[in-house]
Amino acid sequence: MPVKAIQQFQLRTVIGTEKKARETLKAVKAAGYEGIELCGFMIKKMPIIVRVLTRLAGMPIGRSGNLDWKNLIAESGLKVVGIHEDLGSILKNSEDIIAEANDYGTDYVVVTGMHRFDYSNKQAVLELAEKLNQAGKLLEEGGIHFLYHNHNCEFRKVEPNKTAFQVLVEKTDPKYVNFEFDSYWAAEAGCDTLELMNFLGNRMKLYHINDRGTRVTGAKRSILKSDSMELGYGNMNLKEHINIAKKNEVEAVILESHKNWVEKSPVKSFQLSADFMNTYL
């Protein structure tokens, strides 16, 4: 069975001190989660640009990089299922990235959608695929597997009937590059998420789960904005998503509800989502 895990980014507002981080990780474990996926920029001193960009996006990350994450994770009993890193660091400092993954006992390093990148430019996407192959080869030489995590930008068309995501899947070598599929962002882009999961098959090594719906109460408008929701409280067919993930033997199903938490609490949010995870995983 896949490991039930949570993304560290969801916890960003409740891990600002050693005490808070320890309490939060204890609550994660108590809710039934077995693992955690870390963000490289949150477990070491983070560049100022990261703090600025996340704050501008309405998702400030604080100063969690000042904490002793190796000790906190060891105390928590949670398994590290992967670490998110940036592509530039992997290409320039692959030995350091490999060492960090080994220190945390994980086999997976993951990159996410490129910042300020035009996913409608086919040539740029082809060049990105080649860089991903290079990064994956560097990591594989150190025994670490490399995954690409999608947002919604990869589903822009580079030509009629072909998305950037399809190009990345077709032009990357499965020996060096595989995928951490995020169904929330694909749904936000208007895609058939179940079809995409079947398209990836066993190249989907990790699966990011989230629900999508609305929480607005008392609204009289006829059109509401969709956002992140606790599992089972939105409108995605998550039971079937999990069935496909299990069929393809993903190693972990990872919760990441990035905002719009119930009562504005990421802890209450992951506790509610844990009921769904514990039932269907």
CA dist., res. 140 & res. 252, Å (int)? 20
Which domains does the chain carry? 3-280 (3.20.20.150)
- The answer to whether the pTM exceeds 0.85 is yes
pLDDT digits (tens, 9 = 90+) for 207-255: 999 999 998 888 778 888 899 999 999 999 999 999 999 999 999 999 9
- pLDDT tens-place string over residues 147-156: 999 999 999 9
**Cα–Cα dist 229/239, whole Å:** 15
Task: Determine the pLDDT at residue 44.
Answer: 86
- CB contact set of 14 (below 8 Å; sequence gap of 6+): 20, 21, 23, 24, 266, 267
Residues of the chain with pLDDT under 70: 46-62
pLDDT at 231: 98
